[in-house]
Chains A and B, each alone.
Chain A
Amino acid sequence: MIDTGWARISTDAFNVALGAYIVSAVAYFFHLAFRKTPVWALGLVAASLGAGAHVVSIVARGIAAGRVPWGNMYEYSSLLSLLVVLGYLIVVEGLYRIRTLGGFPLTFAVLTMAVAVSFLYVGPAPLVPALNSYWIKIHVVAAIAGSSLFALGSVITILYVLKDRAERRAAPAPKPIMGASTELEDEVAPYFEPGADEPAALVAPARRGILPSAEVLDRIAYRTIAFAFPIWTFAIIAGAIWAEQAWGRYWGWDPKETWSFITWVVYAGYLHARATSGWKGRRAAVIALVGFASLLVTYYAVNLWIVGLHSYAGV
């Protein structure tokens, strides 16, 4: 039942993906700092190849265990990081055509995978009866998709907070006149070529060019979270339906249930805050980050330290 050949392929491909992501993250950060298009291309290619290897790793794991490859925390972490990388490639690189942010989601993926392989690894094994249901395909996939998007949104929110701070600090310059700062980047850039002796006052706007403008970051973060929220809602509903079948009750305040509910409530608060005057911008960003912290608790702490029915989904 456990095919060691496939298990081996899965582990090797996982390591290849992890290595490629590290290369990619370094390249993206280099590009962020020095704006070298070939380095960006390297980062993109490495991330894409890594994602390819990652897909191979996950599929091989599924074949090795003879079931869906998201039955324990190692597998869940692996799939989560793959989806964060794919989400980044599709949403940020593909839709928004922003090339500078890659280092952040890839670092997240690298950290998640590193934690998974060092602390959470277990060999492929069949599922215990309670997990053996077609709902594992629906509930867990929705949960992973939702959390990977939340993770991506939170990474961008952190960047927004940093950028927003930098902008506020740097800018007595009235923003409305500046227009979209993304468009300005190309015009401003020549001032800061090495050797150009510009007065120090003009250096501050130079730092503005490193990331997309706070507005753009904020918008991407919001869109990502607003996209993730219904998926997360669906994951909770699917979980309740499954719990009703497996444990005879749809909601029992099991720690995993409780924390997924807390995460849901906090993100609902975030979406409402965006629509409330006085809560936009940084305050809403803080709520989003609280939501992400709660997501991490839902994901790690509940399985590792708090005993509950989901514990056997365990490490």
Chain B
Amino acid sequence: MSSASVPRPTLRQSVALVWRSLRSMRTALGLLLILALAAVAGSLVPQVGVADARIAAMFRDHPLRAELYDRIGLFDVYGSWWFTLIYTLLLVSLVACLIPRTRALVRNLRTRPQPARELETMRHYAERTVPEPPDRAIASAGRLLRRRLFRVRSSGGGGRPWVAADKGLARELGSLLFHWSFLLILVGIVWGKGTGFTGRAVIVEGQTWTEAHAGYDGQIREGRFFDEDHTGIQIQVDSFRATYRIPSGIPKDFVTTAELFQPDGTPAGRVRISVNHPAELDGVKIYQFGFGWAPVIRVERDGEPLASGPVVCTQGAPPRGVSPLQLPWDCVVKLPTLRPQVGIRFELWPDVRGLNALLTTGRPMPMLTAYSPVLTFTAYRGDLRSDLALPGNELDTAAMRRFDQGAVGAGETTKLGDGLTVSFPDLKRYTVLEIKRDRGLGILLVAAILILVGLLPALYTSRRKLWISAQPAPDGRGSLLKVGGFALQRRPQFEEEFARLVDTLAPPGRAEGGRPGPRAAGPRHPERTDAERVRT
């Protein structure tokens, strides 16, 4: 036979071939393990959104390697095309396996247990005599099996009576439920992420914030199918409290107390938002995310205010071994209307003892609460470079010159050059809330419950089949029962169940005439059952 005589597969055949191989358990198994390997890669290489600083460090220290990693998506494994490909293939393979299995199950559920011949050849087989006539013996056997939750089918009239029974469809049902639920998980994720959004709101104590795109100041991720249906709810932050354990400085709790309002302004209640205790309004969840200090700073010239209000201060990442509590907070006030323009960089020391400790001992001290707070400042004059569109808390001093520096305590006012005065009337806190809407959560919860509900029968029940037939006993008194059956899983257990069942059908002592069944209940092929144990 030459290879030329083999016809090339048609497209249809090729598709069928791919589909068949996707349907095999081996393919699914392989894909599952590849998925695990891909996830390993994602846990070893720093990921976007989880370890951005480490990625930046890698670009700095090993630019070539970082570039390569970036090209093949190793910094964003779980969003990369190949990770998507793996799990898509896995889900397709899953569906390819599930469709025929589901069909088979439906067929199985519809058809009643089938009669069988040759019960003697089954893996488990027993004969017993009972005093009742065959018809009644079979009827009571059927009742017994129904009580034990078997599906039972009895012979009609005529001929030798029998019952056929099976049990354990829950195994396949559970397994299918478990596997289909993963598709439901996918639906939940796509729907929830697609129609939802996650953003961060920075709100100073006393301020009211409205849930709208502009309110997030760019710190928002909206889903692909999100159609700008922001809720318009309002959050009025009354206070934020950070408490620490003394003296360890371990955080105890972070609590935002706020008043919520519906979009139309009707009050929707007072809430305490803390870690582990988000608030919820109008399908939007509000989480405690972060916090910081917002000193109220007023800059005046000749009694005329140029800038006034709370300024949000932030902190950079602390060096190794230093707690953020030991660092001052940075903020910036820009005065673009002046000619030349003026920018003032502030450092806030919420606890003056922190500044003193640094100045006297050179070692920073954790600042847990506000204690005569102090602002140190450096003022610059020149071009603010507004064309660069820098964030509010960044100052580019490349085109500026320093003209003054100093400090101002809470409640004080101090003079800068050019007739400017800076005052620090009050120190407030701000809270960072994570605002989030995910409509897929309900679907995901249902899917998770279905997964667990399906998993239990899929792992712990087994499918077994049983037949009983009855004929008049050879000595004419009562009837001879033949019982045969087998289990597809958990065979050692079925061996015991079978023996118990036979004993219940015909208790060994009850057999009248003193003739026990010719064969004791038990495994028909002991050597085979022994080998089967390996599989269960």
* Chain A residues with a Cβ under 8 A of chain B: 125-126, 128-130, 132-133, 135, 175-177, 179-180, 215-216, 218-219, 222, 226, 229-230, 233-234, 237, 240-241, 244-250, 252-255, 258-259, 261-262, 265-266, 268-269, 271-276, 278-281, 287, 294, 302, 306-308
Q: How far is the CA of A284 from the CA of B333 in the complex (A)?
A: 65
A276 with B42: CB separation less than 8 A: no
Which among A230, A233, A247 has the highest number of chain B CB atoms within 10 Å? Answer: A230
- Chain B nearest CB: distance from A211 CB in Å? 16
Given contacts A253-B77, A275-B25, 11 further A-B contacts (CB under 8 A): A129-B254, A129-B274, A129-B276, A176-B528, A218-B534, A219-B536, A248-B278, A248-B436, A265-B39, A276-B26, A279-B26
B455 within 8 A of A: yes
Q: List 25 A-B contacts (CB under 8 A).
A: A126-B250, A128-B250, A128-B251, A129-B251, A129-B252, A129-B275, A215-B530, A230-B456, A233-B451, A237-B451, A245-B276, A245-B277, A250-B441, A252-B49, A253-B43, A258-B42, A262-B39, A265-B32, A265-B33, A265-B35, A265-B36, A265-B39, A269-B36, A271-B459, A276-B26
Contact between B533 and A126, CB atoms less than 8 A apart: no
Most chain B CB within 10 A, of A250, A266, A302, is at: A250
Residues of B within 8 A of A250 (CB): 441, 444
- In the complex, chain B residues 423-458 whose Cβ is within 8 Å of any chain A Cβ: 434, 436, 441, 444-445, 448, 451-452, 455-456
> Do A215 and B533 contact each other (CB < 8 Å), given the known contacts A248-B278, A258-B43?
yes
Contact A215 B534, beta carbon cutoff 8 Å = yes
**B contact residues around A218 at 8 Å (CB):** 534
Q: Knowing A250-B444, A253-B78, A280-B535 touch, does A229 contact B459 (C-beta < 8 A)? A: yes
> Is B39 a contact partner of A261 (Cβ separation < 8 A)?
yes
CB distance from B223 to the nearest CB of A (A): 13
Shortest distance between the CB of A120 and any CB in chain B (Å): 18
Chain A nearest CB, measured from B53 CB (Å):
10
Contacts A126-B250, A233-B451, A271-B459 given; indicate if A253 touches B278 (C-beta within 8 A): no
Interface of B with A (CB < 8 Å)? 25-26, 28-29, 32-33, 35-36, 39-40, 42-44, 47, 49-51, 54, 77-78, 198, 245, 248, 250-254, 274-278, 285, 287, 289, 434, 436, 441, 444-445, 448, 451-452, 455-456, 459-460, 492, 526-528, 530-531, 533-536
Q: Does A233 contact B276, Cβ atoms closer than 8 Å?
A: no
**How far apart are the CA atoms of A297 and B289 in the complex, in Å?**
29
Q: Which residues of A contact B276 (CB under 8 A)?
A: 129-130, 132-133, 135, 245-246
Knowing A129-B275, A269-B32, the reply to whether A306 touches B531 (Cβ < 8 A) is no
Q: Are B25 and A177 in contact (CB under 8 A)?
A: no
CB neighbours (8 Å) of A129 from chain B are 251-254, 274-276
Contacts of A130 in B (CB 8 A): 275-276
Chain A residues whose C-beta falls within 8 Å of the C-beta of B444 in the assembled complex: 240, 250
Partner of A245, one of B26, B278, B527, B534: B278
Asked if A258 and B39 make an inter-chain contact with CB atoms under 8 angstroms apart, the answer reads yes
What's the Cα separation between A110 and B32 when bound, in Å?
34
Q: Which residues of A lie under 8 Å from residue B39 when comparing CB positions?
A: 258, 261-262, 265
B49 surroundings in chain A (CB, below 8 A): 252
Q: How far is the CA of A275 from the CA of B36 in the complex (A)?
A: 20
Give complex CA distance A246, B275 in Å: 6
Report the separation of the CA atoms of residues A118 and B60 in the bound assembly, to the nearest whole angstrom: 37
Once A176-B530, A219-B536 are accepted as A-B contacts, the answer to whether A230 and B459 lie under 8 Å apart by CB is yes
Known: A248-B436, A250-B441, A250-B444. A308 touches B50 (CB 8 A): yes
CA of A7 to CA of B444 in the docked complex: distance in angstroms? 42
User: Which residues on A sit within 8 Å (CB–CB) of B492?
Assistant: 219
Max chain A C-beta neighbours (<10 A), residue from B50, B441, B445:
B50
Q: A22 to B101, alpha carbons, bound, how many Å?
A: 51
Q: How far is the CB of B234 from chain A (nearest CB, A)?
A: 20
Which chain A residues border B44 with CB–CB below 8 Å? 306
Given contacts A215-B533, A272-B28, contact A233 B252 (CB under 8 A): no
User: B534 contacts A219, CB within 8 Å?
Assistant: yes
A250, B438: Cα distance in complex, Å: 10
